[in-house]
Amino acid sequence: MAGFFTGLKWAPTKSVFGILPMILGSLWVTAGALILGAPVGVLCAVFLAEFAPPRVADAARVSVQMLAAIPSVVFGFIGLLFVVPFVREHIGGPGFSVLASSIVLGIMILPTVVSISLDAIESLPRSYKEGAMALGATRWQTVSMVILPSARSGILAATILGMGRALGETMAVIMVAGNSLKIPSGLLSPVRTLTSGIALEMGYAEGLHRQALFAMGIVLMALILALNLVASAVSRGRSR
């Protein structure tokens, strides 16, 4: 059992099932997506709520909603056509990599992060903003010192949901990650995630191989639960 979680080799034809490279690959890609997507999503929400003209904000809301409706395979196809060649030609490596996957997933989680963060900001009482402005705070000071701290729980919830979306994404990652069964040595290394491994092999797996894929699904659920619990603990710690 321990070899299943810590093994470095995945060879179903030889009854060798080590999923550590896929666990680490999933965490790398998810972390990259959050680093790229979460700050951009929060900044977009702040801009739409506090700085954008009403017409621009309304148009942007519609665009964000449309972005959420795009199938993941379309994101994967766009990543295959544009992101992978860009990474290969301008940054290095084979193109199919942790970085390419993180960029695509970072874009995919934007609708979730923007929408929920925007709702959290707009749900704050107007007295928060008016009180800060009355005390002489600038708009940026009001945003950074009053609005963002007050909406912290909603922003963290948006980040958690975005994290779950990134960790559970399958099709787009299959198309741009490279699906290498080795532990990634850097951002430019190919990678295979847990979801990719299940999707690629479930169609022909049988016996012990099929059981191992179901076990990978349980591990994925446990990872999502663990990350959510960690994020909730961090949120409670900051609110004290």
CATH code for the domain of 160: 1.10.3720.10
Q: What is the percent of the chain with per-residue pLDDT over 90, rounded to a whole number?
A: 43
pLDDT at 135: 83
> Which of 2-6, 25-29, 95-99 has the least mean pLDDT?
2-6
- Which residue stretches of 70-125 are H helix? 72-78, 84-86, 98-108, 110-122
| pLDDT tier, 138 (very low <50, low <70, confident <90, very high otherwise) | confident
Burial of 126 (C-beta count, 10 Å sphere; 0-12/13-18/19+): exposed
Q: How many CB atoms lie within 10 A of CB 89?
A: 9
pLDDT at 1: 58
Mean pLDDT of 170-178: 91
Query: Mapping DSSP to helix (H, G, I), strand (E, B) and coil, where does residue 61 land?
Result: helix
Q: Would residue 1 count as lying in a domain?
A: no
Q: Would residue 70 count as lying in a domain?
A: yes
17 vs 53, 137, 195, CA distance in Å? 55, 59, 15
Higher pLDDT, 78 or 229: 78
pLDDT at 231: 72
Q: Would residue 69 count as lying in a domain?
A: yes
Q: What is the span of the domain harbouring residue 219? A: 14-239
Residue 240 scores a pLDDT above 60: no
99 vs 73, 74, 88, 201, 219, CA distance in Å? 18, 18, 10, 24, 24
Q: Would residue 5 count as lying in a domain?
A: no
Exposed e or buried b per residue across 171-197, where buried means at least 16 C-beta atoms within 10 angstroms of its C-beta: bbbbbbbbbbbbebeebbbbbbbbbbb
| CA 47 – CA 44 distance, rounded (Å) | 5
pLDDT tens digits, 11-48: 888 888 999 999 999 999 999 999 999 999 999 999 99
pLDDT at 230: 75
Residue 113 scores a pLDDT above 60: yes
pLDDT at 189: 93
Q: Which two tokens stand for residue 59?
A: 């148009």
DSSP secondary-structure letter at 177?
S
pLDDT at 47: 92
| pLDDT tier, 67 (very low <50, low <70, confident <90, very high otherwise) | confident
Q: Would residue 6 count as lying in a domain?
A: no
Number of domains composing the chain: 1
- Name beta bridge partners: 191: 178
pLDDT at 153: 83
Q: What is the percent of the chain with per-residue pLDDT over 70, rounded to a whole number?
A: 96
Q: Would residue 7 count as lying in a domain?
A: no
Residue 3 scores a pLDDT above 80: no
Q: Would residue 8 count as lying in a domain?
A: no
pLDDT tens digits, 146-173: 899 888 888 888 888 888 889 888 889 9
Q: Would residue 89 count as lying in a domain?
A: yes
pLDDT at 184: 87
Does the predicted model carry a pTM greater than 0.85? yes
| pLDDT tier, 238 (very low <50, low <70, confident <90, very high otherwise) | low
